[in-house]
Amino acid sequence: MNGKGIGAPIDRRHFLQRLSSLLAGGYLLQNFGSPGDEPGHLVAPALAKGTGYTLAPWTGDNFTLGHRMRSGDGPSFPKHSEGKVDFIIVGGGMAALTAAYELRDHNFLLLEQYDDLGGTSLGGSHNGLAYSMGAAYYSDKEGPVAEYAAHFGLKPAVLGPEKNSFFFEKEWVNGVEGASANLLYRNFKRLKTDLAKINKRFNEEEPLPPVTRPDFLKLDSVNFASMLTAYDPPFRLFVDRILMSSACADSERTSALAGTILANDFFNDSFVLPGGNPAMARALAAHIGTPGKKNERLKNGCFVWGVEIKDDGASVVYSDKTGRMHRLDCRHVIVATPPLVTGRILSNVKNSAKASLFWFRYGSYLVANIICKKRIFKGTYDNFVAPPFGFTDFTVAETPYLKNNTYHDPMGSVLTVYNPWQPGTMGRAVLTEGNRPKLAGEIVTALGELIPGLDANIERVILTRWGHAINICQLHFYERISKINAGFADSYTLAHSSLQGIQCIESAMAAGRLAASRALKCKATGVKGAKAL
């Protein structure tokens, strides 16, 4: 999930270094413990039948309450409020955590459905080797993400364009530069030249919401495939693989504006923290309250059923871990959930504002972490494959440890396999059915074709499912989010990463910062009644 990279104000000079990170919304993993623990430890894993590895319980989305809300089978709401705070943050992903960090000196409450914070920026650890179950790296060299990383003392490995490799004609092609006789290298050279022409326009004004320039809106109204017709078909296939992995949509479904931004990742540096973007989520949470103490303002196990917007703030209805219902008022509410969720819980706003939230389409995602006894794949960090392989690519979790000289052989290896589906395809049904042995077996078999000896080296397989993983950048995407961002009332802000552009950690942290800024301005206007709980 690009970001593998699991999304200002963003530093506009470095917008082209942004990359889709998967997600950073408010959907969190289930069935694993505190950060750094291996997931699934609450349920003992069983030896997968006919294999030499154990298969962990599902992690990822738990859709039970969400589907109840969708079907209208929700509980009765309390009529009276239990109290009032200045700010309520709905969701616990990267945008929500960023907003909470910016509001850490104020009276706020964060409500998250799952037991852990971070959205798709969550992961686990095996023998001291941390890995991601979603968002894995970022591309912002000097923007907010880089600022937070430096502030928290995080040290990412810097990977250049050689970070990628491509399984082409039964061989690995490394990086994007090489002899022009190679079809991929020849097309990469042409793409870099073509992108440079567009990048000059971006450097004049970055296409961040609100996007109003006619030339940007024109790019947003056509698909990226229309810009690739003169390229060789095998190369276009690998461009689609990158787009699918990054944004759950191929060049036919991706707007040319978004596709151009994403394609720059071929040629830009990436920044990988040990364990991926979960390291940033843990750092944010750790610095919001008193170090070493549980922060009661970060409430997990809380499912938000309704957000009613009022003239003097908002009223939020949620259930806690025990199922007990609560109503709490606030001066300003920050809703950091995906638009399809926000549209269902938000009330007392204009019909047009709600309707716009249901326009988007979402791709689904399966992530498989293959825990290995030792390193047997010695390739690059991110490795892309073309059909007939069902998955798009796999990353190597030990790469940042190797780059930072902190890797030791006993740590073994973790290969993180990404298998996205476009909207309207079979992905969501496959993930809902949830046949873990079948899905794990298919991935292990296919990956074994690329890595001889893999099967005998596997200790454990951990599958993570994301049913509504990424808000795809379809045609008119930037036009639509620009209109949504212009329509917030004083009492609420929508802060999901996808409303700031391509869904990634850069967009998520940008959304969180902007939301916190709006919330503080609202407080400064003197809305009455906020009382600390």
Q: What is the pLDDT of residue 352?
A: 86
Other residues' Cβ atoms within 10 Å of the Cβ of residue 31: 18
In the chain, the percentage of residues whose pLDDT exceeds 70 is: 88
Domain assignment present for residue 319? The answer is no
Rounded Cα distance, 387 and 237, in Å: 9
Domain count, the chain: 1
pLDDT over 70 (residue 32): no
Domain assignment present for residue 351? The answer is yes
Average pLDDT over every residue of 472-492: 93
Residue ranges of alpha helices (H) inside 421-504 are 427-433, 436-450, 477-485
Task: Kindly tell me the number of DSSP H helices and DSSP E strands found in the chain.
Answer: 15, 22
Higher-scoring residue by pLDDT: 204, 448 = 448
Element at 193 (helix H, strand E): helix 183-204
**199: three-class secondary structure by DSSP:** helix
- Take residue 241 and report the two structure tokens written for it: 């693989």
Q: 298-316 burial, b if ≥16 CB within 10 A, otherwise e?
A: bbbebbbbbbbbeeebbbb
The DSSP line for 315-355 is EEEEE-TT--EEEEEEEEEEE-S-HHHHHHHEESS-HHHHH
Q: What is the pLDDT of residue 40?
A: 32
pLDDT over 70 (residue 2): no
Q: What is the pLDDT of residue 488?
A: 87
Q: What is the 3-state secondary structure (H, E, C) of 95-162?
A: HHHHHHHHCCCCCEEEECCCCCCCCCCCEEEECCEEEECCCCCECCCCCHHHHHHHHCCCCCEEECHH
- Take residue 434 and report the two structure tokens written for it: 């949830």
Distances (CA, A) of 504 to 99, 185, 443: 16, 27, 25
- Take residue 29 and report the two structure tokens written for it: 């993993």
Domain assignment present for residue 474? The answer is yes
Residue 286: CB partners within 8 Å, gap ≥ 6? none
Omega cis (within 30) before 400: no
Rounded Cα distance, 127 and 274, in Å: 13
Reported confidence tier of residue 47, pLDDT bands at 50, 70, 90: low
Average pLDDT over every residue of 262-287: 94
Domain assignment present for residue 81? The answer is no
Report the DSSP beta bridge partners of residue 25: none
Cβ–Cβ < 8 Å for 118, 97: yes
Domain assignment present for residue 322? The answer is no
Omega cis (within 30) before 57: no
Domain assignment present for residue 40? The answer is yes
Other residues' Cβ atoms within 10 Å of the Cβ of residue 64: 8
Cβ–Cβ < 8 Å for 334, 90: yes
Reported confidence tier of residue 487, pLDDT bands at 50, 70, 90: confident
Look-up of token digits 């003197």: 526
pLDDT over 50 (residue 8): no
User: What's the gap between Cα 82 and its chain centre?
Assistant: 34
pLDDT over 50 (residue 179): yes
CA dihedral 241, 59, 430, 253 (to 10 degrees): -30
Strands 362-372 and 458-471: antiparallel
Distances (CA, A) of 344 to 310, 340, 509: 17, 7, 24
Of the candidates 285, 276, 338, 340, which has an alpha carbon nearest to the alpha carbon of residue 134? 276
**Which of these ranges, 329-343, 459-473, 511-525, has the smallest mean pLDDT?**
511-525
Domain assignment present for residue 360? The answer is yes
pLDDT over 90 (residue 532): no
Higher-scoring residue by pLDDT: 272, 70 = 272
Q: How do residues 242-267 score in pLDDT, each as one tens digit?
A: 999 999 999 999 999 999 999 999 99
Reported confidence tier of residue 278, pLDDT bands at 50, 70, 90: very high
pTM: 0.89
Q: What is the pLDDT of residue 293?
A: 62
Q: Which long-range contacts (CB under 8 A, 24 or more apart) does 232-239 make?
A: 232/183, 232/186, 232/187, 234/168, 234/183, 234/184, 234/386, 235/183, 235/184, 235/187, 235/188, 237/386, 237/387, 238/166, 238/168, 238/184, 238/384, 238/386, 239/191, 239/263
Q: How do residues 352-406 score in pLDDT, each as one tens digit?
A: 888 999 999 999 999 999 999 999 999 999 999 999 999 999 999 999 999 999 9
**What is the pLDDT of the chain when averaged over all its residues?**
87
Q: What is the chain's Cα-based Rg?
A: 22
Q: What is the pLDDT of residue 51?
A: 73
User: What's the gap between Cα 100 and its chain centre?
Assistant: 18
pLDDT over 70 (residue 438): yes
Q: How do residues 411-421 score in pLDDT, each as one tens digit?
A: 999 999 999 99
User: What's the gap between Cα 197 and its chain centre?
Assistant: 29
Q: How do residues 210-248 score in pLDDT, each as one tens digit?
A: 888 899 999 999 999 999 999 999 999 999 999 999 999
Average pLDDT over every residue of 292-305: 86
Q: 178-192 burial, b if ≥16 CB within 10 A, otherwise e?
A: eeeeebbbbbbeebb
Distances (CA, A) of 441 to 128, 231, 402: 26, 35, 29
Q: How do residues 110-162 score in pLDDT, each as one tens digit?
A: 999 998 899 989 899 999 999 999 999 999 888 889 999 999 999 999 999 99
Angle, helices 505-524 vs 144-151, to 10°: value is 90
Domain assignment present for residue 323? The answer is no
pLDDT over 90 (residue 481): yes
DSSP 32: B
Higher-scoring residue by pLDDT: 523, 220 = 220
Q: What is the pLDDT of residue 289?
A: 75
Q: Based on the number of CB atoms within 10 Å of its own CB, is 527 exposed (0-12), middle (13-18) or buried (19 or more)? A: middle
Cβ–Cβ < 8 Å for 24, 93: yes
| Number of Cα atoms under 13 Å in the Cβ half of residue 138 | 37
Cα–Cα–Cα angle for 242, 55, 444, rounded to 5 degrees: 45
pLDDT over 70 (residue 6): no
Tell me the CATH number at 364.
3.50.50.60
User: What's the gap between Cα 463 and its chain centre?
Assistant: 16
Q: What is the extent of the structural domain holding 364?
A: 1-61+86-305+331-533
pLDDT over 50 (residue 10): no
Q: What is the pLDDT of residue 443?
A: 97
Q: How do residues 322-358 score in pLDDT, each as one tens digit?
A: 999 999 999 999 999 999 999 999 999 988 888 999 9
